[in-house]
Amino acid sequence: MTTAVKRVGILTAGGDAPGLNAVIRGFGKTAINHYGMELIGFRDGIKGLVENHYVDLDGAALSGILTTGGTILGTSRDKVHKYIVNGEPQNMVPTVQENLEKLKIDALVMLGGGGTAKNAKQLMDAGVNVVSLPKTIDNDIAYTDTSFGFATALEIATDAIDRLHSTAHSHHRIILAEIMGHRAGWLSLGSGIAGGADIVLIPEIPYSVDSITDTIKARIARGSTFSVVAVAEGARDSKDAADYQAARLLVDAAKTPEAHRAAKTHLANVADAQREHTFKLARELEAATGLESRVTILGYVQRGGIPCAEDRILATRLGTAAADLVKAGEFGILVAARGQGTEAVPLQQVAGKVKLVPTDHDWIKTARKVGTGLGD
Ligand code: F6P
């Protein structure tokens, strides 16, 4: 296999994140200039693979993209084994295999998060030579120290917390900044520590409104008539967290396709009912403390724009390492960041796993030591 790879496909899947283009460039320049490979880019993630929609990527296409946000290839959240056709999920793995064969693609490089690792594993199981790279602002991919996009989002969320302090302080308000991260608290905890949030709420530690109220009242008693709260989008109070967990367990326990569908619908309803949790918390805190409360949802601002220097370096390191691994014929792997180097981790180890914040993590201990309330 070592010298066999001539033509490689690359795609970006899942939510966009800063650094995607830097990886495409790092991989592409190494693959083309050092190893003499040809590179094509599939459009819009899995969609392009299924619908055979691609572009040739040559030196010119890879030039000037190191610093740009988003992805030059486009992206989508489609799943290869549950691709929606006329409203119904279908397994498109055989179609993808056919397309790759017709295009004479020897290896496929997939840039994405947890969902993409699962897609990559499906293709690997069908015999496709896949290499996956860890992209997400959430930092929740297992078996990698970090993922590209996270450092930039951390800077943006920290800057937002810094700026929100001005209004919180001047108007004597509680400001809740809702921060992305899916079901993981890395982004909220990191930016909360860096921005000096008074309270940080993460999914890994279900909160109690009483505990948050106590923290804010103690601050008022010390003369601080404002508070900034970093709220992870996945953070919940103890009751909501238990309801959500119970609904998830029902999905895992479902034995028939019908039971699975019903459990998924129930889970979606529970999640829907909890969607406005940050606004609900703001109302509760206003009533309990007498301080006016406001919510700022940071949203897509956190994933937009140029990658920071740290992400550019990480993306370039991972991209070039991935090209080396493709050249060496190492497939079925995630190119993980490990210290200042990289490590090839088997996809079967990574797919389906999520890296949450361990409740004894140093960041949590650090936050507690400086008096940050964690809502528990
Ligand atoms: O995984 C990245 C992320 O931005 C999460 O933080 C967030 O929960 C999710 O994507 C939002 O996804 P979408 O853009 O599809 O709404």
pLDDT at 1: 43
Average pLDDT, the chain: 97
Q: Whose CA is nearest to atom 16 of ligand 1?
A: 15
When pLDDT is averaged across residues 115-138 and rounded to a whole number, the result is: 97
12, 16, 75, 137, best to mutate for ligand 1 pocket (most atoms within 8 Å of CB): 137
Catalytic residue flag (residue 252): no
Closest ligand 1 atom, residue 17 Cα: 2
pLDDT at 144 over 80: yes
Position 98 scores a pLDDT of 97
pLDDT at 2: 47
Q: If you measure from the C-alpha of residue 25 to the centroid of ligand 1, how many angstroms do you get, rounded to a whole number? A: 24
Paired with 29 in beta bridges are none
The finding on whether 182 has its CB within 6 A of some atom of ligand 1 is yes
Ligand 1, atom nearest to 140 Cα? 1
Ligand 1 pocket, mutate which of 44, 180, 191 (most atoms under 8 A from CB): 180
- Whose structure tokens read 């108007």? 171
- Mean pLDDT for the stretch of residues 75-94: 95
DSSP labels, 213-276: HHHHHHHHHTT---EEEEEETT--BHHHHHHHHHHHHHHHH--SHHHHHHHHHHHHHHHHHTTT
Evaluate if residue 37 carries a pLDDT over 70.
yes
- For residue 187, the ligand 1 atom closest to its alpha carbon is 6
List, for residues 158-184, the tens digit of each pLDDT value.
Answer: 999 999 999 999 999 999 999 999 999
What integer pLDDT is reported at residue 4 of this predicted model?
83
Question: Of the residues 106, 138, 237, 311, which is catalytic?
Answer: 138
pLDDT of residue 299 exceeding 80: yes
Q: Does residue 209 carry a pLDDT above 90?
A: yes
Q: Could you give the angle at the alpha carbon of 131 between the alpha carbons of 16 and 2, nearest 5°?
A: 150
Residues 315-328 pLDDT 10s: 999 999 999 999 99
Ligand 1 contacts CB of residue 234 (under 6 A): no
Q: Is the dihedral of CA 192, 196, 197, 199 positive or negative?
A: positive
Q: Please report, rounded to a whole number, the percentage of residues in the chain having pLDDT higher than 70.
A: 99
Query: 32 falls in which pLDDT band (50, 70, 90)?
Result: very high
Is 227 touching ligand 1 by the criterion CB < 6 Å?
A: no
The helix/strand/coil state of 354 is coil
134 lines ligand 1 (CB under 6 A): no
Which of 141, 186, 233, 303 to probe ligand 1 with, by most ligand atoms within 8 A of CB? Answer: 303
State in Å: Cα 182 to ligand 1 middle.
6
How far apart are the CA of 243 and the centre of ligand 1, in A?
22
Q: Could you read off the pLDDT of 329-345 as tens digits, one per residue?
A: 999 999 999 999 999 99
- 75 in contact with ligand 1, CB cutoff 6 A: no
| Contact residues for 228 (Cβ-Cβ < 8 A; gap 6+) | 161, 164, 165, 168, 174, 175, 177, 195, 196, 197, 198, 199
The pLDDT, as a whole number, for residue 47 is 98
Q: Tell me if 74 CB under 6 Å of ligand 1.
A: no
Q: What distance in angstroms lies between residue 303's CA and the mean position of ligand 1's atoms? A: 9
Percent of the chain with pLDDT strictly greater than 90:
98
Residue-level pLDDT at 179: 98
pTM score, whole prediction: 0.96
How far apart are the CA of 175 and the centre of ligand 1, in A? 22
Indicate whether residue 181 lines ligand 1 (CB < 6 A).
yes
3, pLDDT greater than 80: no
Residue ranges of alpha helices (H) inside the chain are 20-29, 46-51, 93-102, 114-125, 150-171, 186-195, 209-221, 238-253, 257-273, 277-289, 309-327, 347-350, 362-369
Using the mean position of ligand 1's atoms as its centre, give its distance from the Cα of residue 42 in Å: 21
Predicted confidence (pLDDT) per residue in 146-156, tens digit: 999 999 999 99
Distance CA 346, CA 211 (A): 42
